[in-house]
Each structure stands twice: as C-alpha cells, then as structure tokens.
Structure 1
Amino acid sequence: MKKLIIALSLAGLCALPVAGQAAKYKEVSVSNGGTITGKVSFAGKDKAPKTYKISKDNDVCGTGTREIDYVRVNNGSLMDTVVYLDKVKTGKAFDASISNAVLDQKGCEFKPFLQVMKNETKIAAVNQDPILHNIHTYEIIGRTKKTVFNVSQPEPNTVTKTVKLKRGSAMKVECDAHDFMHGFVFVAKNPYYAKVAEDGTFSIDNVPPGKYTIKAWHGTLKDLKSKVEVTAGGTANADFTFK
C-alpha cells in the first residue's frame, strides 16, 4: 500500500506544470466581450534617425548611407508600437494570418521593419538578394538580448524556423553580414494585441470582462504598462505616453 501511495504521489507531481513554465493559451468562445481603445503618444524631443554606412555589396545594397528611424513620431503619435494584454490564459481565437510570418531580405533591408507573429509558430526568412545574408534574431529581455536563431543564407533561398519565446515579447532582427540591416518581430502569446495605426490609435476587441495588465511595447524605448477593467459589451480606454 505504501508503494502504491508513493507511486500515485509521484504521478501527481509529474502532472504539475514545471516552475516558470507558463500554461498555453486556450481558445474559447467569448460572449459579450468588451473593447479596449486608446492612443500611444510621444512627448519630448524626437530622436534623429541613426545613420549607417553601406560598406559592402553596393551593387545590391546601394551606396552611401542608410538612415533607420527607430523612433518614428507622427504629429506627437508614436508608431511602430504594439499594445497587448499581459498573461491572458483564455479568450478569442488567434488571427490565422500571423501563424505564417514571412521576413523578406530584399535590397539589403528587412521587410517589414516591424511585424507580428504568433508564439510557437514558424517564421520564414526569405533571402531575395544574390548575396550572402546571415539572419540573426534575438529575444529581447529587458536590456539584454538572447539569440533565438542564427542562420547563414549564402544565396537566394528560404529558411524556416519555429520561434518559441519564454520570457520576452519580441525579437530584434539583424544581419551579421550587413550591420545596416535591422528589424523587429513582436511575438504574440495571446491574440489580445494591436499594432498602432499611424495616428497612434489602437483597438483590441472581444475581450472577456475582467481586470487586466495592459502593456505598450516599442523596439527601442522602455515598455509602459497600466491597468484596465473591461465590462461586458463595454469600451475601456488606455492611453500611453512614451518619453
């Protein structure tokens, strides 16, 4: 009997989630969900774009310099930002379009500069240039970066990789062969996110009633967060101002 009790206890421990391992998001039917709207703004002096020298493969990459505007501000509104609900376990289904992400390398640029993909799905890195690219992606964890994948692409081809982020919400994308190639991928762990429009506005719909932590992510600025309460069929507001 004692051996049986020990065996059952061990079985129960095996069924428990591993510490630090988040439960997977579960898609369910949402009835009478609410909506969160808001605007993302920028206050203060807008930083000038960063200038890089195009130092190699000029027949494909171009000549002179390239400017990358990491902080794009449009009449006080901050672009290239994703607003999302943190640690949501159940709710509406994911948009199928973000399950097959494609990152193009054309003219020695990453296109798009910022995109959204679903966590634990695949991204296709496409080299359309007749030269060597080496795509290197990093999980952004606060001020640190951790390699997700690092792949050499010596000729026009496609490399597909599964992305599974545990701690961070996004990846920085670089090319180890060309230091003037940069981009970002936001990796959604639940479908309650929105990439802001050019005027800084966003909307997240079909949110189950409840209280949430809502965050605003930007590739180079410090993340912001707030609290928001969603009522059945109602509309809540959440604004963010980066500095």
Structure 2
Amino acid sequence: MAQPHTPFAAILVGSCLACGGGEPSTTAPPPSTPPPPAPSVAIEAPAAGAEGVTDDTPGSVVGVALFQGQAPQRQPLALSGCDHGGDEPPLDNRIIVTDGRVQNVFVSLKGPRGGTAPPPTEPVVLDQRGCLYTPRVLGLQVGQELRVRNADPLNHNVHVYARRKTFPNNTQAPGADDFVFVFERKEPAPVPIGCDIHPWMKSTVHVTDHPFFAVTDAAGEFRIDELPPGEHTLSAWHEIYGKLTAELDLPPGGTARLEFTFSK
C-alpha cells in the first residue's frame, strides 16, 4: 500500500522545531548608544523697558559642550626622537572630556554676518612645547596674526595646510623668532597645522571673517559677546565627533544659553 506523501516544507518545519525546541531565540541584540539629544537653546530677554536697551543692543551666547556616554580613555602618545621634558609621555589630546564636558570645541556663527569688524591687533599664539602644539584648536580673524613659536630644545617643522594660501614650510629651531602667518581670506574648512618631523604634533586653526566665535575651555564652556540681535545659526565643531548646529532668535540685549551634546 502506498505511503502518504509528506510535503518537504512540513518536514523542514518539524526538523527546526525539534532542533530548537520550538522556542524563538532569546539572544538580545548588542546594546547601542542612543543618539545624542538635539542642541538645546534657552533665551533670556531683558525686562521690558530695561534701561539702555534698544532694538540694536547686542546680546550674548553662553553655553557648554557635553559628551553622552563613556568618553574614550586618553592614551599616552608614542613619542619618537622627542624630549618632552617629563617622566611620563603626554596624553593624546584629540579628545579631552572631563566630567562629561568636552574641551576644544570650536563654536562659531554661521553665515555672512561678519566683515565689518577690523581684526584684533593682538596676535593668536600657537606654541610648540613638550612635543605638542598648544592649543589643539584655535580661531582667528582674517588679517589677524598667527604667531608660532618653539619653546622646545629641539627643531620642529611648521606645516600649514591652508586651501586658499600657500605658506612656507620651514623648520623652526629652538628659541628662533616666531613664525608669523596672516590669512587674507576666510578659509572654507578648518586648517590643519602639523610638524613633519614629529607627526603626532597637530593643531587646527579656524579662520573666520567675523569675531563671533569661541573655543570651549577645560570645563567645556564658551561665551560669545556683542552678537547682533536677530536670527542666527551657530555651529559647534569637534575634530573627531564632527559638527552640530543650533538656531536661535536673540532678542536685543538678551542672552542665549546653549548645550551641544556629542557622542561616539
């Protein structure tokens, strides 16, 4: 007598149920870091009828750069052929997070707002000390001097990777005169500066055509004063974690409080 035919799909299902006990997998997907919150903006306007406040009275932007999650642990730099002047090698300074606050974030007004303020007469100084460029991130205006000096007891090289101007790529001896660089035009992107002799030595300069910028300090804080009232977009740039933007409407004589949150 012929045996009844069992469909192949039924055999396959039965086999799978027998192998796995018929229970769905309980393996959880690996945890992921939730996306950081959008930048927060809180506006403080002066009291109605406040003395000295007109429609043109400038205001201020104050804020902080935060880090969500566990910040990467800073590692000692592998220095070669460089006397850094200490018992322990310096730590990698690309990512500096202290108590959840991020240092070396460049915060700047976006858009063609500038061009009216003359550049400051005080130069911006970039030092070569302990086989590192200090500061790691800096900003300056078009026409403002950038002075690079060598405080180390050995030669360094100052290589400025600008897009709109070619600067000499020279070696700077210990105690030599400052190298002076002046940008005649705004740079379209952050300008890396490096030492060809010691490749871990890096810095970044942001060249703007207005004075409305700041770099977060060791507490992750920044402040920009004398900002004209009205609608603005501000960007916050970190060399590893990229750029965030925030929009705000600054009242005359008001203060905007911003929080930018970065994550891995």
Q: How high is the TM-score relative to the length of structure 2?
A: 0.66
Mapped to 2, the partners of 1:48 and 1:206 lie a distance apart of 37
Could you say which residue in structure 1 is the equivalent of 2:192?
172
Mapped to 2, the partners of 1:148 and 1:221 lie a distance apart of 28
Could you say which residue in structure 1 is the equivalent of 2:14?
none
Deviation at 1:233, TM superposition (A): 1.8
Deviation at 1:43, TM superposition (A): 0.8
Figure out how many residues of one structure are paired with residues of the other and give that number: 208
Mapped to 1, the partners of 2:193 and 2:155 lie a distance apart of 16
From the two aligned structures, give the one with the greater helix fraction.
1
| Structure 2 unmatched ranges of 5 or more | 1-54
Q: How does 1:103-114 map to 2 (within 5 A)?
A: 103-114=126-137
Asked if 1:187 corresponds to 2:231, the answer is no
RMSD: 3.1
Deviating beyond 6 angstroms after TM superposition, the runs of 4 or more aligned structure 1 residues are: none
Deviation at 1:204, TM superposition (A): 2.0
Identical aligned residues as a percent: 28
Q: How does 1:19-168 map to 2 (within 5 A)?
A: 31-58=56-83, 65-90=89-114, 93=117, 96=120, 99-139=122-162, 150-157=169-176, 158-164=178-184, 166-168=186-188
Tell me the alpha carbon deviations over residues 59-84 of structure 1, each in whole angstroms, 9 at most, x when there is no partner.
x6667744213111121111111211
Mapped to 2, the partners of 1:84 and 1:211 lie a distance apart of 14
Tell me the alpha carbon deviations over residues 102-121 of structure 1, each in whole angstroms, 9 at most, x when there is no partner.
22223322233333322233
Q: Secondary structure at 1:180's aligned position in 2?
A: coil
Q: Secondary structure at 1:96's aligned position in 2?
A: coil
Deviation at 1:51, TM superposition (A): 3.6
Q: Which amino acid aligns with 1:49?
A: R
From the two aligned structures, give the one with the greater strand fraction.
1
218, 225, 247: which one aligns with 1:227 = 247
Mapped to 2, the partners of 1:81 and 1:191 lie a distance apart of 16
Tell me the alpha carbon deviations over residues 140-191 of structure 1, each in whole angstroms, 9 at most, x when there is no partner.
9xxxxx9765322245312212234544353322211112322233333311
Deviation at 1:95, TM superposition (A): 7.5
Mapped to 1, the partners of 2:262 and 2:250 lie a distance apart of 24
Deviation at 1:130, TM superposition (A): 3.9
- Taking structure 1 as reference, are residues 90 and 114 closer, same or farther at Cα in structure 2, changes over 3 Å only? closer
Which segment drifts farther, 110-119 or 229-238?
Answer: 110-119
| Structure 1 unmatched ranges of 5 or more | 1-29, 141-145
Mapped to 2, the partners of 1:221 and 1:167 lie a distance apart of 20
Could you say which residue in structure 1 is the equivalent of 2:262?
242
- Taking structure 1 as reference, are residues 232 and 122 closer, same or farther at Cα in structure 2, changes over 3 Å only? same
- Taking structure 1 as reference, are residues 32 and 78 closer, same or farther at Cα in structure 2, changes over 3 Å only? same
Asked if 1:218 corresponds to 2:255, the answer is no
- Greater gyration radius: 2
Q: Secondary structure at 2:161's aligned position in 1?
A: strand
Mapped to 2, the partners of 1:175 and 1:62 lie a distance apart of 20
Q: Which amino acid aligns with 1:122?
A: E
Mapped to 2, the partners of 1:89 and 1:62 lie a distance apart of 45
Q: Which amino acid aligns with 1:230?
A: L
Mapped to 1, the partners of 2:88 and 2:101 lie a distance apart of 30
Q: Which amino acid aligns with 1:89?
A: R
Q: How high is the TM-score relative to the length of structure 1?
A: 0.71
1:48–1:69 Cα contact (<8 Å) kept: no
Q: Which amino acid aligns with 1:80?
A: N
Tell me the alpha carbon deviations over residues 20-61 of structure 1, each in whole angstroms, 9 at most, x when there is no partner.
xxxxxxxxxx94122223221111231222443221144x66
